[in-house]
A = this chain, B = another copy of it.
Amino acid sequence: MDVKTLCLGLLSVREACGYDLKKTFETSFKHFFPAGYGSIYPALADLAAKGLVECEEIPQVGKPDRKVYRITEAGEKAFVSALNSTEPQHKLRSEFLAMIYFADLVDDNRLMEVLDDHVEQLRETVRYIEHQERHSTKSAGASFVAGFGAVVARAAAEYIESHRHMLTDKVAIKASGEELADCKWAANS
C-alpha cells in the first residue's frame, strides 16, 4: 500500500485537492504514514490517468486553479480490493534508535540533547493527538489509529525517561569510577 492507494482512500471519504490531502497526511497520518507533495501530486495525476478519480478544475484568482478530485466507482472498487488484498506491513526505520545503539561513540552532550528532543517530540505527538480527538468526530478506524499513536508514543517517552541513565551515566563512571555512590540512581537500584 503506497501513497497513491492512501490518496485514493482519503478521496473515498471526501473530495479534496492535493493540498488538502497533504494536510491530512500531516495531521491524521503524521505518526504512521508520512507523505509529501512530491508523492501526492504525481499520485493524483496517476489515479486520474487510470480513471480511478475525476478532476474538476475550479478557477481562482491569484492562485493556481484548485483541482478537486472525486473518486469514481472504479476507484472505490480498486481501493476496497487493495485494502483487502495487501498483507499489511508495519515498518519502523529509526535513525534515533540506531544512534542510541552506538551511544558509546556519541558525544555525551549531543546524546542528552537527542534524548531530550526525542522525548519532547513524543510528548508533542501525544498532546497533538489528544487535542485532535477532543475537537473532531472521527470514524471508529480513525479513532483507533489515533489512540494507538498516543499510547505508543507515551510508552516510548516513558521508557526513555526511565531508562536514559543506562546511557548517560557512563559519564559519571568514566569520570570517577570510585564515586559511584554519589550517583542518585545507583543508590536507588
Contacts and interface: CB of A to CB of B under 8 A. Distances in A.
Give the interface size bracket for A toward B: 35 or more
A93 interface: yes
A99 interface: yes
A105 interface: yes
Q: How many copies does the complex hold?
A: 2
Interface stretch (A47-55, A58-66, A134-142, A175-183): A134-142
Nearest to A156: B152
A128 interface: no
* Chain A binding surface, main DSSP class: helix
Contacts of A155: 151-152, 154-155
Contacts of A90: 92, 94-97, 118, 121
Give the 6 A-B residue pairs with the shortest CB-CB distance, closest first.
A155-B155, A103-B141, A88-B95, A88-B96, A1-B95, A90-B96
